[in-house]
Amino acid sequence: MADPARAQRLAKRISSIVASAIAHDIKDPRLAHVTITDARVTNDLHEATLYYTVMGESIDSEPDYAEAAAGLAKATGILRSKVGAGTGVRFTPTLTFVRDSVPDAARHMEELVARARANDQLVAQQAAAAQPAGEADPYRHDDDEDGPTE
């Protein structure tokens, strides 16, 4: 069994090999906007999980996740052979591609923060115009005429 440090080094190497191959060697148009974000390798170095994200063709267009997944599934064999040639390990790990959920979670968190800021501004506006209920000084003082009766 390999040590975790070796697995991390191999994961980083696999990530760079796969990203380079997607960018330069594989001519599938479905992979044009795919970015490899992270890679994890098991401690026995037999399985590698690569996390990817897909960008749209423009800022306003939605990415096509299904097409990207199909393109990666089709290119897995070629990518695995490139990983085997580039790493030089005895057993080339199997590659599994998983869509990275971090960008979606970050977008959701940004929306929640924006909503909280808007609510804070609304509360601040309401507090600025608010008047206290009752008298200005609601506490009893010793010099009050109508003090408590005993």
Contact in structure between 36 and 12 (CB atoms under 8 Å) = no
Rounded to two decimals, the pTM is 0.70
For domain 4-99, which CATH number applies: 3.30.300.20, 3.40.30.10, 2.170.120.20, 3.40.50.300?
3.30.300.20
Mark 107-116 as b/e (b = at least 16 C-beta within 10 Å): eeeeeeeeee
24 SS3 class: helix
94-99 and 34-41 strand pairing:
unpaired
pLDDT tens digits, the chain, 150 residues: what are they?
Answer: 568 888 899 999 999 999 999 999 999 999 989 999 999 999 899 999 999 999 888 877 888 889 999 999 999 999 999 999 999 888 999 999 999 888 788 889 999 999 999 999 999 998 888 887 777 777 777 776 665 555
Q: What pLDDT score was predicted for residue 121?
A: 93
Alpha carbon distance 108, 114 (integer Å):
10
Alpha carbon distance 14, 1 (integer Å):
19
117 SS3 class: helix
Instruction: Of 22, 20, 99, give the one whose Cα is nearest residue 65.
Output: 99
Q: What pLDDT score was predicted for residue 103?
A: 77
CB-based contacts of 65, cutoff 8 Å, min separation 6: 54, 99
Residue whose tokens read 């026995």: 44
